[in-house]
Structure 1
Amino acid sequence: MKPGMDSSAQRYRRGWAAWLARAAAAILLFELISGLAVTVGPFQPAVEWGLLLHTIAGVLATALLTVYFARHWNNYSGQALSDVLLLGYVGLGALAICLLSGVAVTWQGLFALKTAPWLRYTHLISTLLAFAASMPHLFIAWLRRRAEVTRSAAGWLGSSVAWSLIAFAAAAVLTVAYSGTKYKNVFPSDYSFIYGKGRPFAPSLARTSTNGAFDPRSLGGSETCGSSTCHTQIYEEWKPSAHRYAAMDPIFQGVQTVMAKQNGPESTRYCGGCHDPISLFSGTKNILVENLTGLTGYNEGISCVSCHSIQKTDIRGNANYTMTQPVDYLWQWSPAGTAGATARNFLIRTYPRQHAQLSKRMYKKPEYCAACHKQFIDQEVNRVGWVQLQNQYDNWAASHWNKKGDARATVECRECHMPLVESSDPAAGDTSDYNRTADDHKHRSHRFLAANNFVPALLHLDGSQKHIQLTEKWLHGDIDIPEIRSKWADGPIVRIRLEVPPTVAPGQKLPIRVVLVSNKVGHDYPTGPLDMIQSWVEMRVQDEHGKTIFSSGQRDDRNFLVPGTFLFKAEPVDQYGNLIDRHNLWEMVGVRYRRSLFPGYSDTVEYNVLCPSGAPSVQVHSGDDVKEFSVATARPGTLRIDATLQYRKMDQFLLNYVMGEKAGLTAPVVEISGTTASVCVSRSGDASECR
């Protein structure tokens, strides 16, 4: 006992009865239990509230705990080392680490993009170590002086438990007061179960985990992903992407309206699984619903959550997937800059377990993409029978890009369409790919670059200009992807080559062969709905004075391709043999013509040029692959031949049909690849005459 201090004062300052001891014990007990609830308990609002109180109490009590343990150290550190003292030292050291790591985690939760896992684990392990050392420390200390301190120790224990219970009661009250967004997962009262209540979303194969409706709010809210100072870069990539505008696409909306008028609004559920899942699962594609699209679905299309909530897919396609409703954090949809958003972001960063469930290895697999990137029509839709439509997955699976079982030699969907980009995003880094590391500072681009350079500009989407530039660069084959450089190809996505003889005499046919080779496309080229996509060869022959003496593949003044153009396309037909030219695929029963390039394969178109001196005009005869034309040639000279493979996302007829000819719209044309050759027209067959 220190001089001048009586036993009661000593007990007040350093014994079981000390108010500092009891306050410290109450705080630490609450911190222990609320922290363990976060670690091993179920994800629910009460645990989230407990975590918030855990953080607040920990921060506010840091000074109190520091004062108490400083006094405790001062009172006992001069004693001879014993088991009690050793346990106390260990517990105090672990507690110091626990407090420091807790402060660090709190700071990261508030101000960083994410919390460091090692800090969270340090906080947890030091907590368990402090508890493991403190319990025997307290028990032995009580045991050796139990006759003297039992009463005060009981009071210490009782007050600690009581104050902890008060804190837990506060968490319970807060949970009752607010436990997150209350969703209305019900179909509209007039919802039409035309295919039976067991198949509420048919003819789409998409379904929910409950086979019931989902409140549209639960699948939207992509803006919160980007405005939370978390996935800002990914959100900006997604905004002008095809996934984002899948529902608001005016061509989709126009075709959907025609389908609804012809077959009933329920039939459009076939489209909704891939284009508009939020509206589909909320029951919006129903009778008496204008535009058949809810506002959330229209604005977000394939939203962040709708893609990341899929738990199961099937490679049959036609949106054959199962979607679950994600479990929200508190203040899930609070707008940026509010206290609710700050609390939500803090919870996500410090309690990331639930959020991490939105990332699954299955999302990497081509089979995941196949759920929507493979399409067919069956009897429920066309009233006749099954017919295959676009099918990127099977194309890829059967191609030379797929080296089954060898990831280092295989080029998969995400490696091309979601290339790695420099990133400071919390999603940066990955250890599940053979060529990735946890700290590579890269994430997969969510632009999903492909071939649509039309709709982003048509809708004036944020970031559309940059997105279109990247799309056209992609179509040119100019985007370098370092991660697959060793197993991909160089150059344009489709190579074009001219095969012509060096000379031709007037009166002879000049054979021009255009060879097209699929160079770095992972599926058919072109792919998608080939009834509306156009890719063609534009040919121009000029004499040495620059006069065009033949052309093919040009567009007229109304932006239609001239007759006789060599064109990659499909010509689907209905059951009466009529051409499907309005994207009315619900009437399709077969294809009368289809031409595209399989990966690694080539196609050829031949032009035969007749060069008689004094031919009166140009004559064009169109066959399947052979184009013949005559060229007037009065004297020897050089013919320049230019061949270009062109691409546009939408043919002019369909665009005029959906948007109206008066709209003056036309899809921009992209040059995929081009080449040039020269031929000498010589009576003697000597090419030197043209030099």
Structure 2
Amino acid sequence: MKRRRKSPQRWHRIASAAEMPLPMRRNAKKGFASGMPRFAKTWCCWSESTRSRKPIFSAACRFTFFSDCRQNHSTNRLMKKYIVFSLLLLVACKGKSPVDPPPDPDQPKFKVTDFSAPEACAGCHPNHYEEWRTSMHAYAFVDPVFFAMNAAGQQKTGGQLDQFCTKCHSPIASLTGETPPFFDPASLSPISKQGVSCDVCHTITKINEPRNAEIELKPGRTKYGSLANPAPNPFHDSQFNALFDRSEFCGGCHEVQNPLGTNVEETFSEWNAAALAGMSFDCQDCHMPTYAGEAAVGGPQRAEVHRHYFVGVDVPLVDFPGADIQRRESEKLLQNSATMTVTSATAVSAGDTLRVHVSILNNKTGHHLPSGVTAERQMWIALRARDQNNNVLYESGQLDANSDLMDHHSELNPNADRDLTIFRQRMFGVDGNEVLFFFEAKTVENNMIPFLATKTATYKIPVPVNLSGTLSLEVALKFRSLPPYFLRELGLGDLVAKVPIVDMAQESRQISITP
């Protein structure tokens, strides 16, 4: 039987076969295409039997193979390999298509117009709006302390601090490109000046990591919140997000690791270490307490609607709506944070030493006491002993003429108060010396009180030999959010007198003097 002669095949470019790439010319005899994956024109297979061209390659990486190419066994194997290879090239080409370019990291992620101003929410949520506008969230990007601190950080780091501070204090300003390292606060859009506004929190869809503003926002028609059954309305869609009732939501900003890798604020970690998560006790329980009422005007009555004062230990230091409300609520919070116990003898002999033990139990907070960036906070024990003529016999925790505590930060009386008990964090730079600013801290030394822990200070008060009658003892646990020396370093000495000192707990007693 005479064997049928197979039709010879030649490969041609429509324009000229001579212009065919060398790898394809070498492989044309095998009945398959190879070589570069992208072509401006079409490659064809010429069949002597059909006297026609059929496309093999076409522009934009589209490949077609035809049955009239050689069909021997080895060719089929090679064809399979090249089909797989071609599919891989298709994927690669699609990923790099100019139609779908990768996002430019230097371009703002959002536009200012992507977000709704808080005033747009006020019509339906007047209570939430009025509470928020007095809050430290609303104050976050008009705070002169913030602006001075950020400016100092940018200057000291040559702008490398960049968005580190602004991405929490005004996420909208940061995400819309309004805050380059040396931005002018006067140039900000109104919504950026409103700090942590309604549309910041209520467009958060995910917390990637509970620290350093590792959050994902999705501005648009849908607003997210803690209501499992939100009432429909014509203004926006509503979607339940379980994050809104969990501490991880707050940890997105209230947990800070500085650019040197040092943990300078650990409020979320402190809460987590206290094992309160298993008890369903979260930040919102204290800082966003609930009441019965409407979440929106005309909406259904609900047993639990969250307050939006976001009360903490900081208060406005410049004219700001509802500043008196924040001061009052902050004072109430501080006075419900710890239990102080004073232990001493009820009588002491003249010439002896009166020992006074002051214990502070952190049993009401759920995190360390104090918390936050506590190098910028002061919580201390103030104690004073007087005789019956009101003469001071002993004192600790008092202030100098600059309103500073008399520790090593005092310019007037450095280290004069050797018995000072202060609960706070100290920060040290790469050279081991103490630093004032969080972005310079390489290591920290903590002297806060963990949740459910107690710390005790003992004071030894010498009683004069000629003293008689009674000795009065006054003890207080005091707090202020910013120390005077820190404000002066920022050039804000005029704000020192505006920082309130709160008595978190106080006790007084009379000690009898025996001969």
Above 0.5 in TM-score?
yes
One of 256, 272, 275 as aligned partner of 1:397: 272
Letter in 2 for 1:369: C
Q: How many angstroms apart in 1 are the aligned matches of 2:281 and 2:467?
A: 53
Deviation of 1:368 after TM superposition, in Å, equals: 1.3
Letter in 2 for 1:589: K
Letter in 1 for 2:374: L
Map Cα deviations across residues 109-163 of structure 1 (whole Å, 9 max, x no partner). xxxxxxxxxxxxxxxxxxxxxxxxxxxxxxxxxxxxxxxxxxxxxxxxxxxxxxx
**Equivalent residue number for residue 213 of structure 1:** 109
CA contact (8 A) 2:138 2:196 kept: yes
Q: How many angstroms apart in 2 are the aligned matches of 1:314 and 1:607?
A: 47
Map Cα deviations across residues 338-365 of structure 1 (whole Å, 9 max, x no partner). xxxxxxxxxx96436x4213x5222111
Q: How many angstroms apart in 1 are the aligned matches of 2:345 and 2:233?
A: 71
CA contact (8 A) 2:205 2:217 kept: yes
Q: How many angstroms apart in 2 are the aligned matches of 1:287 and 1:540?
A: 47
State the SS of the aligned residue for 1:283.
coil
Q: 1:277 to 1:439 in 2, by over 3 A?
A: same
Q: How many angstroms apart in 2 are the aligned matches of 1:260 and 1:293?
A: 17
Q: 1:351 aligned to 2:204? A: no
Q: How many angstroms apart in 2 are the aligned matches of 1:258 and 1:599?
A: 33
Q: How many angstroms apart in 2 are the aligned matches of 1:222 and 1:328?
A: 15
CA contact (8 A) 1:278 1:296 kept: no
Matches within 5 A, 1:220-299: 220-226=116-122, 228=123, 230-265=124-159, 267-286=161-180, 289-291=183-185, 294-299=188-193
Q: 1:316 to 1:269 in 2, by over 3 A?
A: same
**Equivalent residue number for residue 504 of structure 1:** 348
CA contact (8 A) 2:212 2:252 kept: yes
State the SS of the aligned residue for 2:164.
helix
State the SS of the aligned residue for 1:270.
coil
**Equivalent residue number for residue 622 of structure 1:** none
Letter in 2 for 1:598: P
Matches within 5 A, 1:285-364: 285-286=179-180, 289-291=183-185, 294-327=188-221, 350-351=233-234, 354-357=236-239, 359-364=240-245
**Equivalent residue number for residue 296 of structure 2:** 426
Map Cα deviations across residues 470-504 of structure 1 (whole Å, 9 max, x no partner). 22122222xxxxxxxxxxxxxxx111111112222
Deviation of 1:546 after TM superposition, in Å, equals: 2.8
Q: How many angstroms apart in 1 are the aligned matches of 2:448 and 2:182?
A: 41
Q: 1:572 aligned to 2:427? A: yes
**Equivalent residue number for residue 184 of structure 1:** none
Q: How many angstroms apart in 1 are the aligned matches of 2:154 and 2:286?
A: 36
**Equivalent residue number for residue 474 of structure 2:** 642
State the SS of the aligned residue for 2:109.
coil
Instruction: Give the percent of matched residue pairs that are identical in Structure 1 and Structure 2.
Output: 22
**Equivalent residue number for residue 548 of structure 1:** 392
**Equivalent residue number for residue 31 of structure 2:** none
Map Cα deviations across residues 54-82 of structure 1 (whole Å, 9 max, x no partner). xxxxxxxxxxxxxxxxxxxxxxxxxxxxx
One of 360, 365, 368 as aligned partner of 2:249: 368
Matches within 5 A, 1:546-625: 546-563=390-407, 564=417, 565-581=420-436, 584-591=437-444, 593-613=445-465
Deviation of 1:251 after TM superposition, in Å, equals: 0.5
CA contact (8 A) 2:312 2:333 kept: yes
Deviation of 1:269 after TM superposition, in Å, equals: 0.5
Deviation of 1:445 after TM superposition, in Å, equals: 0.3
Map Cα deviations across residues 190-235 of structure 1 (whole Å, 9 max, x no partner). xxxxxx97755xxxxxxxxxx9521123234111111x2x101100
CA contact (8 A) 2:163 2:181 kept: no
CA contact (8 A) 1:638 1:678 kept: yes
Q: 1:597 to 1:292 in 2, by over 3 A?
A: farther
Q: 1:475 aligned to 2:334? A: yes
Map Cα deviations across residues 407-441 of structure 1 (whole Å, 9 max, x no partner). xx432111111001343342899xxxxxxxx7335
Deviation of 1:610 after TM superposition, in Å, equals: 2.2
Q: 1:322 to 1:664 in 2, by over 3 A?
A: closer
Deviation of 1:661 after TM superposition, in Å, equals: 2.8
Q: How many angstroms apart in 2 are the aligned matches of 1:393 and 1:662?
A: 33
Q: How many angstroms apart in 2 are the aligned matches of 1:262 and 1:427?
A: 49
Q: 1:462 to 1:366 in 2, by over 3 A?
A: same
Deviation of 1:387 after TM superposition, in Å, equals: 1.6
Q: Relative to structure 2, which stretch is displaced further, 656-665 or 496-505?
A: 656-665
CA contact (8 A) 1:217 1:296 kept: no
Q: How many angstroms apart in 1 are the aligned matches of 2:245 and 2:176?
A: 27
Q: 1:464 to 1:661 in 2, by over 3 A?
A: closer
**Equivalent residue number for residue 679 of structure 1:** 511
Q: How many angstroms apart in 2 are the aligned matches of 1:293 and 1:371?
A: 27
Letter in 2 for 1:648: R
Q: Relative to structure 2, which stretch is displaced further, 238-247 or 213-222?
A: 213-222
Larger fraction in strand: 2
Deviation of 1:680 after TM superposition, in Å, equals: 2.1
Q: Relative to structure 2, which stretch is displaced further, 269-278 or 296-305?
A: 296-305
Deviation of 1:538 after TM superposition, in Å, equals: 0.8
CA contact (8 A) 1:257 1:291 kept: no
Root-mean-square deviation (CA), in Å?
2.6
CA contact (8 A) 1:500 1:677 kept: no
Matches within 5 A, 1:180-195: none
Q: How many angstroms apart in 1 are the aligned matches of 2:319 and 2:495?
A: 16
Q: How many angstroms apart in 2 are the aligned matches of 1:373 and 1:235?
A: 22
Letter in 1 for 2:421: F
Q: How many angstroms apart in 2 are the aligned matches of 1:445 and 1:550?
A: 44
Structure 1 segments of 4+ aligned residues over 6 angstroms from their partners: none
Deviation of 1:237 after TM superposition, in Å, equals: 0.2
Q: How many angstroms apart in 2 are the aligned matches of 1:221 and 1:235?
A: 11
Letter in 1 for 2:327: I
Q: How many angstroms apart in 1 are the aligned matches of 2:506 and 2:147?
A: 35
Larger fraction in helix: 1
Q: How many residues align?
A: 396
TM-score under structure 1 length normalisation: 0.54
Unpaired runs of at least 5, structure 2? 1-101, 224-230, 408-416
